[in-house]
């Protein structure tokens, strides 16, 4: 059964297809409009704005805190009753070095503030912090899916794996359209969305 959506779709497959198509086009808009560079880096407000932009045409909850508890496998994300406090603490975390930025990213992943679309929004949010803090971004096309998912799964207990993995994929091409577009495709690939190429959608 599909999540309740603005498109009136009841098939999970149909929703996944349309969600990918629409939100990838919005990801292009975030980059090409210059909107990303105007966001307050490393804040929940910035993550919320990214999430809202990506998913506002699909879900009523775009940019809104989730109202349900979430779990993935055996891991439970921040319980609802502690979510706002967790976000306030994350907001105060430093973000001037690579290690600090990844630690902040890991904590935001544990918080998982939205009902859906957390990972895709957070990877854009992470790159904004890296761009602003150390003048680099992740070239996600160089980050293996299984390695990344495993490292993120372990990151709440031990973040060294995700740090090593992402550090090896850093690039100085912080304003490269190609790096960004490939990054969006890879980010969606991690979540199982592979129907559309972001570059192709940008030409529509």
> What is residue 55's predicted lDDT score, i.e. its pLDDT?
98
* Segment 103-123 mean pLDDT: 98
- Candidates 194, 8, 12, 29; CA nearest to 116 is 12
Residues facing residue 110 across a β-bridge = none
The yes-or-no verdict on residue 9 having pLDDT over 90 is yes
- Residue 127 in tokens: 């790159």
Say yes or no to pLDDT of 160 above 90.
yes
Q: 78 to each of 32, 82, 152, 164, how far by Cα in Å? A: 33, 6, 15, 25
> What was the pLDDT predicted at 11?
97
**DSSP SS3 for 137:** strand
pLDDT in the model for residue 6: 97
pLDDT at 204: 85
Tokens of 36: 């990303």
CA–CA–CA angle 19, 138, 37 (5° rounding): 70
Q: What is the pLDDT of residue 105?
A: 98
Mean pLDDT of all residues in 69-73? 91
Task: Using the predicted structure, report yes or no on whether residue 74 has a pLDDT greater than 90.
Answer: no
pLDDT at 137 over 90: yes
What is the rounded (10 degree) CA torsion for 84, 34, 62, 146?
A: -80
Mean pLDDT rounded to a whole number for the chain: 97
Q: What is the mean pLDDT of residues 11-37?
A: 97
- Rounded to two decimals, the pTM is 0.97
Give the residue among 85, 120, 90 at the shortest CA–CA distance from 103: 90
Res 117: pLDDT: 97
Q: pLDDT confidence of 191, banded at 50, 70, 90?
A: very high
Q: What fold is seen in the domain 12-201? A: Fic-like fold (1.10.3290)
Rounded mean pLDDT of 55-65?
Answer: 98
Residues 185-190, mean pLDDT to the nearest whole number? 98
Q: What is the pLDDT of residue 88?
A: 97
Spans of all domains in the chain: 12-201
Which pLDDT does position 1 carry in this prediction? 81
Query: For 82-91, how does the pLDDT look when each residue is reduced to its tens digit (9 = 90+)?
Result: 999 999 999 9
CB atoms within 10 A of CB 199: 15
Mean pLDDT of 5-26: 97
pLDDT band at 162 (very low <50, low <70, confident <90, very high): very high
CA–CA distance, 140 with 144 (Å, rounded to integer) = 8
H helix or E strand, kind and range, residue 72: strand 71-72
Separation CA 86–CA 78 (nearest Å): 8
38 contacts: CB under 8 Å, gap ≥ 6: none
């Amino acid at each position: 059964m599909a999540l309740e959506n603005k498109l009136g779709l009841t098939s999970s497959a149909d929703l996944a297809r349309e969600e990918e198509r629409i939100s990838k086009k919005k990801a292009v808009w975030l980059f090409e409009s210059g909107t990303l560079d105007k966001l307050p880096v490393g804040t929940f407000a910035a993550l919320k704005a990214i999430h809202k932009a990506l998913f506002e045409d699909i879900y009523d909850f775009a940019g809104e805190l989730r109202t349900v508890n979430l779990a993935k496998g055996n891991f439970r994300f921040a319980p609802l009753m502690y979510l706002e406090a967790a976000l306030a603490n994350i907001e105060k975390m430093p973000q001037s070095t690579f290690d600090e930025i990844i630690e902040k990213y890991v904590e935001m992943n544990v918080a998982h503030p939205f009902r859906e679309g957390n990972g895709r929004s957070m990877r854009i949010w992470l790159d904004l912090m890296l761009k602003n803090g150390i003048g680099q971004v992740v070239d996600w096309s160089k980050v293996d899916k299984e390695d990344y998912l495993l490292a993120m799964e372990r990151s709440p207990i031990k973040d060294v794996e995700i740090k090593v993995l992402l550090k090896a994929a850093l690039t100085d091409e912080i304003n490269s359209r190609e790096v960004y577009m490939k990054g969006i495709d890879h980010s969606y690939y991690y979540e199982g969305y592979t129907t559309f190429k972001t570059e192709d959608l940008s030409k529509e």
